[in-house]
Structure 1
Amino acid sequence: MGKTSCTCGIESKSQTESPRHQKSTGSMNMFLTVKELIGLPGMPGTERNTLTKLNKLSEQKAEWRQKRAKGKGFEYHIDCLPPETRAHLLHQQVKDLKKGEVKTRIETGSEELWLTYQESSEKKRQEASRRFEVCLMVADLVERHGMGIKKAMADVAEKTGVAASNLTRWFYVKPGLKRIDKGDWLAALIDENGLNTKRRAELSPEAWSFFQGDWLRSDAPSVQACYERLTRAAALNGWAVPSIDTIKNRIKTHIPLELRVAMRGGVFKAKQTLAPAQRRTRVGLHALAHVNGDGYTHNLWVALPNGEIVRPTTWFFQDVYSSMLLSYCVDVSENTDMLGLALHQMVSRYGVPDACTLDRGSAALSQAMTGRMCRPSGRDRKHKKFDSAEVEGAMKALGVDVTWTRVEADTAGNKGNARAKPIERAFNGKSGLGEYVDKHPAFNLATVGDSVEKKPAHYADSQKNAIPLETFLAVLAEEIEAWNSRTGRRSEMARARGLSYRQVFEESYSQVSVRKATEQQLLLCLMRTEQCRVNEGGLIELKAGQTPLGERNRYHSSLLYPYIGTQVSLRFDPFNLHSGVYAYDEKGSLIGLIPILEDVGYNDQRGARLQRLAQEEVMGRVELMQSTAEMMTPAEVADQLRNAALKRQKDEDESAAQGVAPGLVQMMPGLPRLPEQIAFKRAVGCDSTPASTADSIDFTDTLIDLFGKKD
């Protein structure tokens, strides 16, 4: 036929337009330009520096960089970008999809070809690449050398050993490269033998966008349910929809894993799943250099002495260097009281740690912790909550550097970052306290399981089999000691020599100098506080010491006399109420230690003697105060008052004699001069006696003499 020009689409697009540019992740472009990346997180702020960094990042794989379809320069694949840049782009994609602002850019034919390419095996893709190179040689001879396509096919067949009939079939029959854009040749040259051709059915862009909006939701609907809704919508709108298997494969190849996890599982799950946990070394630390604490709710029922059945919670402090549990405290729920008591145990036993990590999202941050009076807050002006600054203040007074884990919002609400605290690994797992304590044989039939899916067979009757509190505390203490002393630990500091946590701690503890807390500093650890009114006689009643019969512990001291009728704040150890309580005034200043006023038996003669001695002691103090007080006797006070009255009367007489007009002196001859005469005082111009008419006449004459008679 002679030389024929190639109209197979060879010249429509240059060879440099890689088919990778056609692969789209849902609605997201996998290749980005330099200008699109300038200033993003993890990228420089100038075009020159951004280009330099992108070139370095894309050096590992050639497919990470390709020439732009239009204009000069290169485009860079999203996989070569830093994690923070990818996270920003995907986060922006999540926002756009939620707002419905993303426009899909799907070319149906091209997408189906590349879907088939992705579904093929690696062997088939390698064969397609070999065919693609041969076909490009044919196109090069036609475009650059002006050779006819038949002649070009023959020359290439002779050089490569590929049959000319195969080249003719590829260009004219199947797949028919003359009718296909060169950018899709690689995908089109896949051998379809063994492939499910139905998966290459047409999928309308609107249908794919509809499916993404339905499937990429936090409700995480199934593919089957979304596909059924898609088919109903497609029937009304005339969309082309492939089989569900094609949709499933399209999800894997066109929607990035990060986007799937973030939009269906939430941001918290994406952070926890896609970003590997950090592994922090403990080299450079020592015993009590850093501790961390958290609460653990046991998965069993415990019967309290008052008959209440609860799932107890234990607060632990753990040494980060050795992983040894330093102290613990048990309560009915997680609160700051147990935190303070556990802190008191740790500091009094081992010393003050240098730093401490706590969970800011913990329930321990929801109760009163400091010893000061309530702050105004809310309608009743009573502040019963505190923030992290108050905890920090109590520990700062001990010289502890407090750090807080970041709060992450998950499906259960705000919670702390469990990965940031090594103590979390002591609670769960096959070697955790939940396995050794909660499933102890002494607690048989009282456990409830650690999740809804792991309820034991006896779950319905577990509450009836609640164990006594004393039994629980004894087993807990025994298992914690065994947990600390178990050898062959695999922690960073113990695995080399097969040591236990206690051995690692004691070895380091003996080689370092640890600060010891003073008695006043230890008081700050007693977090349990209560406000009480000081009753008559300096007596206070503590509600925390209330018995099942309603009686309360009473405390008395003469130090409380100045505060009778006011409120004071008490700080005390709830496990040792008989040792006394510490009272603080409204300004938070320490009043002193207030001893307990114990009850005595009705027939206890010793109690009567003690009461008499207490009264005699009070009276002795009163007599001593009277003897040392510089005060007047009642007779001296009366004399002082009488002398003051006489002096005042004398001063008044002198003032009246100097300041009253002579004519008016005659009108008041009978005014009282002394206080005892006040009962006989008469008003000016009036007399209560029968002879008052004379005084009235004298008064009128005096006025006429002074001022004259009115005409």
Structure 2
Amino acid sequence: MTRMSPQQEWWTTAEIAASGLPDLPNTRQGVDAMVERLGWRSHPTFARRRSGRGGGWEYCWKLFPSRAQAALLKSGAETAVTPAPLDRGAAWTWYDALPQAVKDKAQSRLAVIRRVEELSGATTKFLAVEFVAAQEKIAPRTVWNWFEAIEGVDVSDRLPYLAPRHRSVARKAPKAEADPQFFSWLKADFLRLERPSFASCYDRVVGLCRARGVQFLSSRTARRWIEANIPRVTQVLAREGERGLAKCFPPQIRDRSTLTALEAVNADCHKIDVFVQWPGFEKPVRPQIAAFQDLYSNKFLAYRVDLDPNKVAVMAAWGELVETYGIPRHCLFDNGMEFANKWMTGGTKTRFRFTVRDDDALGVLPQMGVQVHWATPAHGQAKPIERAFRDWCDRVAKHPAFAGAYVGNRPDAKPENYMSRAIPLAEFLEILDQQIAAHNARPGRLTGNARGRSFDETFAESYATAPIRKATPEQHRLWLMGQEVRKLDRSHGQLTLHKNSYWADWMNEYAGQSVLARFNPENLHEGLYVYSLAGEYLGYAECREKVGFFDMVGAKMHAKAERARKKAEKELLRATREISVDQYAAELAQMPRPETPLMEAKVVEMAPVRHRDALIAPRMPVPDIDPAVEQRRAAMVLNFRPAEPELPAETPKDRFRRAIDIETRSAAGERIGEAEADWLSRYQTTPEYSARKAILDDFGRDSFTG
């Protein structure tokens, strides 16, 4: 009978790391981390103290992953042993890992055994085996072999021992061998975030192996080796990163039945898939909706629509929520700047945005006693409101009133009537308000708290009995105002905010101090309320210089448009310059230098002919010369200047040096005479200059020294 337990049942961490079994770490540190993560030492049966020197812990092989257990059974199946007391747990573990087709064979064999035993009560066992074997068209010897396999086994444990044993015996066919370097190269190429195909990785590695003389496997064998030796989760982490790894584990299920209405809310912004004609904009836009949702009932409590996510819209939606329903106790945000800003959440230590300083003024939510919770960034499952936004994509964006204005949920999913219409803002807001009300009132909700009711009914039932906190008149001022910390002028105490100046006579007493300014972000000229950093109200200051934009949103949009223009120009330059100058210079440096042949002039200008004296010159009359007269004439000639020395003849090398000197002075910006420029332009057209210029380029100035 095939052995159903491995030869070694208890393993130390060092032995586990050195075993090379699948799905087990190959280092002691990795094994220790796995033992601690899975809590092996707390198992009462399969973990024990190691006896002998060194101590430590030993772990039973039954704690190993299923693939590691199967590999141990395969390695131990090569040695056949006589029937021995079997470990029923190991037998069932091995049976559970078998394919269904093999399990079906074991069940059919068990049915044959039962029929034989039923007939044995009326006749002999020998005749029962002969009769059943004839009906099933199998050999009687086969049935007797099945009885031998279950000898001494409890009736309830027969099924694993009747399964075909060919899967527990190691294959005798030799395995293909390859150089370890081949596997290293294959893993390095395949396990990358770029997610290359296995075929391309294999082709590159094979080309490298052939160049280096390294033995490699066939493509299908290499693929099977990857699947057998690298766990799927490891492959996902290497090729898809941490986001892909998170998908390998089921999301956490949170129970919201213990909450009450308005006890906790969550908020986010959603960019609607509808083109809207916004006042003041020539082209249609896709507005952003900042919404708050109750976590207990999933009801939308408040929302605001704006061009982009901003703290002004979020603050207005928060004010509507508090005025209409009350103050929540908990609020779940993501790390968007419209939420994680100092206006709303200043003083929260776990904020993901902006620098957290000790002198930061408390935001609106901490001052109202709201505990802020931050969702995991870029993780939509952490915010239940994302599920409701998915309904908006169907019931709001695709509403019949918005036909022709739907933009599609992806760039490659645009409808054929894309951008054929834009919805006026007033009409869009009316339809949006209707659909949000219908979303809250729709019955038949299957959430744990709704149980077939609508979100409105679920919220109303709990809201009627839950303790609700209402805002005081002083708290109303908090969300209606923006806040920023500013330092007063050291001379007269004037405060400057967004290019507007605010001052009152009492501010001289606090000159040079840092204060907290609260203001209406939609109208900066209304003045502001000044508080100390400790929250004490100091007084009201009027706006003295109305030089800024009329609202903060306009100032933000202007700055955003300017940044967008700069970014667009930079991207255009980057797209235009496909390669850098350094790369281009490197490409040019690798080009072979062409050999420049001596140029031969196609048009030759004939030099002027010098006429020699005739062999027989005509006789001319010669005047008579009186020596005395000539002597007196010579005495009258005065030597006013010395005779000019005769210049030596100019060689070709001198002419070329002269040309190079003129070119050098011209390149340096020195003044060149007109005569020199004319001579240089004529000389540069001669073959003499072309030939010597080529020699200079090839061999440098040393070729003309001496």
* TM superposition score normalised by structure 2: 0.52
Matched-pair contact (CA < 8 Å) for 1:315–1:330: yes
Counterparts of 2:413 and 2:7 in 1: how far apart (Å)?
55
Does residue 419 (structure 1) correspond to residue 412 (structure 2)? The answer is no
Equivalence for 1:137: none
The residue number in structure 1 matching 2:472 is 518
Matching residue within 53, 57, 79 for 2:65: 79
Matched, 1:489 2:464: no
Deviation of the 1:216 alpha carbon: 0.9
8 A contact 2:333–2:339 mirrored in 1: no
Aligned residue among 374, 390, 405 for 1:404: 374
1:479 equivalent in alignment to 2:424: no
Per the TM alignment, residue 396 of structure 1 is displaced from its structure 2 partner at its CA by 1.9
Which position in structure 2 is the counterpart of 1:16?
A: 6
Q: Are the structure 2 counterparts of residues 224 and 395 from structure 1 closer, same or farther at C-alpha, using a change threshold of 3 Å?
A: same
* 2:456 counterpart of 1:502: yes
Unaligned runs of 5+ in 2: 49-56, 69-74, 79-96, 109-139, 147-164, 348-352, 547-706
- Aligned residue identity for 2:257: V
Deviations 1:46-74 (A, max 9, x none): 99x46747559xxxxxxxxxxxxxx9974
Residue 43 (1) aligns with residue 49 (2): no
Matches for 1:514-663 after TM superposition, within 5 Å: 514-526=468-480, 528-529=482-483, 571-574=518-521, 580=526, 582-584=528-530, 587=533, 589-591=536-538
Query: How far apart are the structure 2 equivalents of 1:515 and 1:591?
Result: 27
Could you tell me how far 1:519 is from its partner in structure 2?
1.6
Displacement of 1:225: 0.9
Greater displacement, 313-322 / 26-35:
26-35
CA distance in 2, matches of 1:531, 1:308: 37
How many angstroms apart in 2 are the aligned matches of 1:201 and 1:398?
71
* Partner amino acid, structure 1, of 2:191: L
**SS of alignment partner, residue 511 of structure 1:** coil
CA contact (8 A) 2:23 2:231 kept: no
Matches within 5 A, 1:53-68: 54-55=46-47
The verdict on how the C-alpha distance between 1:204 and 1:212 changes in structure 2, with shifts beyond 3 A counting, is same
- Contact kept, 8 Å, 1:367 with 1:386, in 2: the verdict is no
Aligned-residue sequence identity (percent) comes to 28
Change (3 A) 1:458 1:42: farther
Q: Which residue does the alignment assign to 1:283?
A: 257
Change (3 A) 1:285 1:349: same
Identify which of structures 1 and 2 has the higher relative contact order when contacts are C-alpha pairs closer than 8 Å and 6+ apart.
1
Asked if the contact 1:336/1:368 (under 8 Å) is kept, the reply is no
Q: Per-residue CA shift, 1:443-464, capped at 9, x if unaligned?
A: 33333322334333344x46xx
Shift of 1:210: 2.0
Q: Deviations over 1:349-391 (max 9, x none)?
A: 11111111111x2232565526999xxxxxxxxxx95659969
Contact 1:337 1:527 (C-alpha < 8 Å) held by counterparts: no
Taking a change above 3 Å as real, the CA distance of residues 364 and 299 of structure 1, as seen in their structure-2 partners, is same
Q: Letter of the 1:447 partner, please give it.
A: Y
Gaps of at least 5 residues in structure 1 are 1-9, 57-70, 87-106, 111-118, 131-156, 164-181, 191-196, 374-383, 407-414, 545-551, 600-711
Q: Give the structure 2 partner of residue 144 of structure 1.
A: none
Alignment partners' CA distance in 2, 1:567 and 1:305? 39
Q: Which residue of 1 aligns with 2:191?
A: 216
- Residue 456 of structure 1 aligns to a residue in which SS? coil
Aligned residue number for residue 377 of structure 1: none
Q: How much does 1:531 deviate?
A: 8.9
Distance 1:530 1:44 in 2: 47
Q: What letter is aligned with 1:521? A: Q
Distance (whole Å) between structure 1 residues aligned to residue 211 and residue 413 of structure 2:
46
Letter matched to residue 16 of structure 1: P
How many residue pairs get aligned? The number is 451
Q: Give the whole-Å Cα distance in 1 for the aligned partners of 2:309 and 2:503.
A: 32
Task: Answer whether contact 1:32 1:77 (CA < 8 A) is retained.
Answer: no
Q: CA deviation at 1:316?
A: 1.2
Answer yes or no: is the 8 Å Cα contact 1:341–1:526 preserved in 2: yes
Secondary structure (helix, strand or coil) at the match of 1:369 reads helix
Residues 189-588 of structure 1 correspond to what in structure 2 (within 5 A)? 201-271=176-246, 273-307=247-281, 309=283, 310-359=285-334, 361-365=335-339, 367=341, 369=343, 387=356, 393-406=363-376, 415-428=377-390, 432-459=391-418, 461=419, 465-494=421-450, 496=451, 498-526=452-480, 528-529=482-483, 571-574=518-521, 580=526, 582-584=528-530, 587=533
User: 1:239, CA displacement in angstroms?
Assistant: 3.8
CA contact (8 A) 1:32 1:76 kept: no
SS in 1 for 2:302: strand
Q: Distance in 2 between matches of 1:372 and 1:286?
A: 27
Q: CA deviation at 1:442?
A: 3.1
Amino acid at match of 1:284: T
Question: Alpha carbons of 1:303 and 1:353: their partners in 2 closer, same or farther (altered >3 Å)?
Answer: same
* Matching residue of 2:160: none
User: Does structure 2 retain, via aligned residues, the 8 Å contact 1:38–1:50?
Assistant: no
Contact 1:337–1:526 (CA under 8 A) maintained in structure 2? no
* Post-superposition CA distance 1:122-177 (Å, at most 9, x none): 6479999x9xxxxxxxxxxxxxxxxxxxxxxxxxx9898679xxxxxxxxxxxxxx
| Secondary structure of the structure 1 residue equivalent to 2:465 | coil
- Pair 122,239 (structure 1): closer, same or farther in 2 beyond 3 Å: farther
CA deviations 1:20-62 (Å, max 9, x no partner) are: x999999775457997677536629999x46747559xxxxxx
For residues 420 and 205 of structure 1, the distance between their equivalents in structure 2, rounded to whole angstroms, comes to 44
Contact kept, 8 Å, 1:301 with 1:467, in 2: the verdict is: yes
Q: TM-score of the superposition, structure 1-length normalised? A: 0.51
- Aligned equivalents of 2:333, 2:445: Cα separation in 1: 25
Contact preservation (8 Å) 1:569, 1:586: yes
CA contact (8 A) 1:18 1:183 kept: no
Q: 1:332 offset after TM fit, Å?
A: 2.0
The whole-number CA distance in structure 2 between the counterparts of 1:260 and 1:205 is 19
Distance 1:400 1:571 in 2: 20
Contact between 1:23 and 1:254, CA under 8 Å: does it hold in 2?
Answer: no
